[in-house]
Amino acid sequence: MTLYPPDLAYELVNPPLLPGQGFRFGRGTRVHVEKSTIGDPDKRSDDQPLARQDGILMGRDYVNGRNIQFDINIKTRSSVELPTAIDLWRHMSQAWLTEDTMVGPSRTQPGVLSELYITDGDRTYVTYGRPTNCQDTRGTRRRGWIPVTADFRTVTHKFYEAQWQSNTITTAPDTSTGWEWPIQFPLTSIATFSEEDIVVVEGNTDTWMLSTVWGPILAPEIEVVGYYKITTAPDFSLGPFEYLEIDPRPWNRRIMKNGTINVAGRFTQASRRPSVQTLPPGTHKIVLRGIDTTGTARLETRWRNAWTTI
C-alpha cells in the first residue's frame, strides 16, 4: 500500500523514485511550509482581429500549466541538532535539482517529469511537472533556521487524485449453437462478442482514460457509449498473454503492444485521437468488442479523478 503524505504535507517524487521515496516537507517534518500559492494557469488564445472593422474573432482558448510557490522555513531546535538545518537544506536542494535519485538528474531528459503529491484533508492529489527555483536565505543558517522559497512548474492546470480508480471487463464464450435467423451473408461461425460495464468518474473536470486490452482477441474495439470509440484494424490481433496498452496522457503518451512494439498506426480512422480520449465526470458505460473464442480476453480501464482546484 502506498503511503501518501499526511494532511498539509507534500512530497516531491523525481523519477525513477516512487511515492514514499521522495522528499517530504510540510506537516510532520522540519521543513515547514509557511505559505503555498497556486498560481492561475497561463492561457493561450487564437483570437484574430477582424479585417477592416472593429472587434476580434474569438478563437480557441488553451490553458497551460501553473506555478506553485512555497514559502518554507527549515527549522531545528538548535544549530547542532541532527540532522542539522543545513543538512535538511542540502537534501531539499538535491531533490529540487532532481539529483536525489543517484541515476542522474531527470531534468536532463526532455519530457521526463516529476510528481508533486499534495494532501489536503482526507484526499491526496498529484500534479506533474518539474521543480524549478529553490533559493535560501543564508543569514540565519547557523542558528538552525533557513528560510527558503521554492517553485514547482506544472504541465497541466489540473490536479489528479493520487489514488487510481480501475474497472475490468471480461469476456465469456457464446454458449448458443446453430444459426440465428435472419441469416446474414457471408456466413461465419465465429461470433463477435460485446461485453459492457459501468464506471463512475468523480471530480469536476475531464480526466484521461488509460486502457489495456489482454488477449487473445481479434480486432478489439473499446467504446465509451455516447462519446467515442477506439477501433483497431480488422487484422489486428493479440495472442494469449499479449496486451495492448493505450496511455493518452500528453506527458506519458504511448500506444504499445506488449510494452515494446509501437502500434499507433493500427487503428481505424473512426477511432478517437489519443489527445481527446478522456472521461468527463459522471456515470459511463464502457463496451469491449472483438472476436475471442476462449472467453479469456479482458479490458482494464484506469483513471484518476481530476479537479481544477484543491
Of residues 141 and 307, the one with the higher pLDDT is: 307
Of residues 229 and 196, the one with the higher pLDDT is: 229
Least confident of 71-80, 226-235, 285-294: 71-80
User: Which residues are within 8 A (CB) of 123 and not within 5 positions of it... i.e. 6 or more apart?
Assistant: 161
| Average pLDDT over all residues of the chain | 90
Identify the CA nearest to 217 among candidates 196, 242, 195: 242
C-alpha cell at 213: 486490452
Of residues 187 and 205, the one with the higher pLDDT is: 205
Q: Are 96 and 74 spatial neighbours (Cβ–Cβ below 8 Å)?
A: no
Q: Are 153 and 76 spatial neighbours (Cβ–Cβ below 8 Å)?
A: no
Q: What is the pLDDT of residues 131-184, one digit of tens each?
A: 999 999 988 888 889 999 999 999 999 999 999 999 999 875 444 433 344 434
Phi first, then psi: give them for residue 161, nearest 5 degrees: -65, 130
Q: What is the pLDDT of residues 96-129, one digit of tens each?
A: 999 999 999 999 999 999 999 999 988 999 999 9
Cα separation, 222 vs 213, whole angstroms: 9
pLDDT score, position 185:
41
Under the banding of pLDDT at 50, 70 and 90, the label for residue 82 is: confident
Q: Are 66 and 41 spatial neighbours (Cβ–Cβ below 8 Å)?
A: yes
Identify the CA nearest to 154 among candidates 91, 63, 89: 63
Q: What average pLDDT does range 56-65 have in this prediction?
A: 93
pLDDT score, position 192:
63
Tell me which H or E stretch contains 106.
Answer: none
pLDDT score, position 195:
79
**Domains of the chain from N-terminus onward:** 9-161 (2.40.30.200), 165-307 (2.60.120)
Phi first, then psi: give them for residue 107, nearest 5 degrees: -65, -15
- Global pTM? 0.88
Least confident of 104-108, 137-141, 284-288, 299-303: 137-141
